[in-house]
Homo-oligomer: A and B are copies of this chain.
Amino acid sequence: MNHLRQRLTEGMLFTDQYQLTMGQLYFRMGLHEIKAQFDHFFRRYPDYGSHQAGYCVNAGLEWLVDWMQDAHFTDEDLALMRTLTDNHGNRLLHDDYLDWLRTHGTFDGLTLRAVPEGRVVHAHAPLSIVEGPLILAQLLETSLLNHLNYQTLIATKAARMVEAGRGRPVLEFGLRRAQEKGGNAGGRAALIGGAAFSSNAGISYHMGLPPKGTHAHSMVQLFMALGEGELGAFRAYADVYPDDCLLLVDTIDTLHSGIPNAITVFEELKRKGHEPVGVRLDSGDLAYLSIQVARMLNDAGFPDTSIVLSGDLDELVIWQIITQISQEAPRYGLDADHLIGRLVYGVGTRLITSWGEPALGGVYKLVAVQQEDQWKSAIKLSDSPAKMPNPGQKRLYRLYDRRGKATADLLSLEDERVHMNETLLLRHPTMHSKMRALRPDEVSAIEELLVDIVVAGKVVYDFPSLETIRQARQADIERLDPGIQRLVNPHIYHVSLTPRLWELKQQVIQAALAE
């Protein structure tokens, strides 16, 4: 049952119906094989309400390409499509079209250029560009957006939590609150974004990491119900996992039961030559409790055990906990930095759902189409200029200033090359009067961001390891200006157009308006 459902709902029909009705129209009009180009980009950074992202971390590409390579129309898919009728009771999708889909309906003919996973990406700059036969490039839309939007959203959220936690480990715990199987994509993206480990066993193994986790309240409840109490539960855990003893201490009362019992067990472990790992706090005032717990553990001779915090954490809560500890710990005679340095953050719901902004509004827009070997630029008009995509075939450059910080992303025409030996004019994508000049001595490096992933259906890219992806992310974040990087009210990073692209955009808009 499960398997049949997967084959039907996770293959080529993992798409919106309008892709298939447009496909038949293109087929009927003889347009299906003309070349088209679509850009994937987002217009707005996630805004979580009380805090906002100033950058995103790109993710999802490898899984998209996996999906593209497998997807095809099965006989079952086609049989179901044959059952559809129009409002007159006639067949909606006809046999000649369905036959074409059976033989040609794969992504073999497409070319995909994209920003690699882990790279920092910005609004209005393409994260990926698809070129190929119109019908196939169109058919890819839903799945591309589905794969790339969500993983980018979660990698971004994870990166923010790691920032807020000052680099202390963030553990991804969200599978139970995810959108069903999407929890796996979320786990992967969290690891790309900087979560150290995940509790999700399957995705951890897939990504080459050990899954992390110790025990739940239910284990303590069980021992209580059996008359052996919390201490009995902790002893059992220490017996079975003497070198991995991390105890959840809030089933009864953290300060009056959990920590005293944990200390008893830690002392027993120590006498046997084992090193206790730490405790986990899952409820209550985590900043206050961290301080009190640290005092008790220090006094008992365990100054270096970890204190894992969990329970509806997000980047703002983590930031607040650290701030409060910084202020309050000294009053209790504690070194705040030492305490902050033993914290670990277990984050579930608010990471896996990107709480506050649970979807990235990435779109996939037709920007060019080929007619008689000539590329023509396409546009969608809008009352809000910021919603008009940048037309035509393009390149994407990142410019670094003399400090080595990324200062702007620059979109050019496909046939333009941006060089360091000339003054660069950066035009605002929508506002005529806003522009900026960068002299050669103000630019330390220029980098092209889009790389070939798939060329005419063939994967030409070596997908990097998780470690490589994480290093790319870390390097990019270090090259962000602190104003872009901050958690609240960040500066807007410049994504600019070359003068030639700006001119093209104006022409295409005017031509469309003239219609």
Interface residues of A (CB under 8 A from B): 1-3, 5-6, 8-11, 13-22, 24-25, 28-29, 31, 36, 38, 63, 66-67, 69-70, 80, 83-88, 90, 92, 134, 138, 141-142, 145-147, 149-151, 173, 175-186, 199-206, 210-219, 221-222, 224-226, 229-230, 236-237, 239-241, 243-244, 251-253, 257, 274-275, 277, 283-284, 349, 352-355, 358-361, 365-366, 368-369, 371, 376-383, 387, 512, 515
In the complex, what's the smallest C-beta–C-beta distance from A319 to chain B, in angstroms?
21
Question: Do B358 and A199 have beta carbons less than 8 Å apart?
Answer: no
Residues of B within 8 A of A70 (CB): 2-3
Closest-CB distance, A492 to chain B (whole angstroms): 22
Q: A176-B142, A202-B10 given as contacts; is B21 within 8 A of A241 (CB)? A: yes
Which residue of A151, A215, A512 has the most chain B CB atoms within 10 A of its CB atom? Answer: A512
Contacting residues, chain B, for A80 (C-beta < 8 A):
205
Q: Which of B18, B236, B376 contacts A214 (CB 8 A)?
A: B18
Closest CB pairs A-B (n = 7): A179-B182, A182-B182, A18-B213, A17-B213, A9-B202, A179-B179, A13-B202
| A25, B369: Cβ atoms closer than 8 Å | no
Whether the pair B355, A18 counts as a contact (CB closer than 8 A) is: no
Contact A201 B15 (CB under 8 A): yes
State how many angstroms separate the Cβ of A259 from the closest Cβ of chain B. 15
Cβ of A62 to closest chain B Cβ, rounded Å: 9
Task: Given contact pairs A2-B70, A5-B66, enumerate 16 new A-B contacts (beta carbons under 8 Å).
Answer: A1-B69, A13-B201, A14-B200, A15-B175, A16-B201, A17-B201, A20-B201, A25-B215, A28-B239, A178-B182, A179-B183, A180-B184, A221-B366, A224-B379, A230-B515, A252-B381
Assembly CA distance A254 to B90 (angstroms)? 31
Contact A87 B275 (CB under 8 A): yes
Cβ contact within 8 Å between A515 and B229: yes
Other-chain residue from B19, B178, B515 in contact with A150 (beta carbon distance below 8 A) = B178
Q: State whether B5 touches A206 (Cβ < 8 A).
A: yes
Min CB distance A133 to B, Å, is: 13
Tell me which residues across on chain B come within 8 A of A213, comparing CB atoms: 16-21
Write out the residue numbers on chain B whose beta carbons fall within 8 Å of the beta carbon of A16: 173, 175-176, 199-201, 211, 213
With A86-B241, A251-B380, A349-B361 already in contact, the answer to whether A369 and B284 are too (CB < 8 A) is no
**How near does chain B come to A71, taking the closest CB pair, in angstroms?**
9
Q: Which residues of B contact A90 (CB under 8 A)?
A: 243
Output the residue of A84, A186, A239 with the most chain B CB within 10 A.
A84
Partner of A236, one of B25, B145, B176, B241: B25
- The answer on a CB contact under 8 Å between A149 and B176 is yes
Known: A283-B382, A369-B226. A181 touches B185 (CB 8 A): yes
Interface centre among A173, A175, A275, A387 (most CB of B within 10 A): A175
User: Smallest Cβ distance from A146 to chain B, in angstroms?
Assistant: 5
